[in-house]
Amino acid sequence: MPRFLTMIRIDEQNQPAEAFPADFEQRMGALLEEITKAGVMLDTAGLLPTSESTRLSWSGGKISYTDGPFTETKEVVGGYSLTQCKDKAEAVEWTKRFLEIHPAHWNVSAEVREIQEM
């Protein structure tokens, strides 16, 4: 069964100032429990802000390091999930349900990519 990496993209520069809605964690917890019981979820987590990260680049035979935050980047990967689904349509459906839990005025996007098995 194929595996999918879903990267949750956020705009660190323009995140909503207000706290999460009171029922957000409960609804998210219920969805994560459902996807885990369905045998789909392999791993998921949020990521710390880019201000606590380092970007490595390989160019001209040399490694360079850039510490965050990466102000030139509008969207960053803020979280991920690793799932095992019957097909891409199922992976997209679970991701759609994840996004729909967020308040309507938030800007969150996701990229679903199938993992190439070797």
What's the pLDDT tens digit per position in 7-40?
999 988 877 778 788 899 999 999 999 999 999 9
107: tokens are 């800007």
How far, in Å, CA of 7 to CA of 105, rounded? Answer: 20
Q: Residue 101 sits in which domain range?
A: 3-14+23-114
Report pLDDT digits (tens) over 47-95. Answer: 999 999 999 999 999 999 999 988 788 889 999 999 999 999 999 999 9
pTM strictly above 0.85: yes
Angle at 102 between CA 97 and CA 77, to 5 degrees: 90
CATH number for the domain including 57? 3.30.70.1060
Q: How far apart are CA 56 and CA 59, in angstroms?
A: 10
Please give the tally of structural domains in the chain.
1
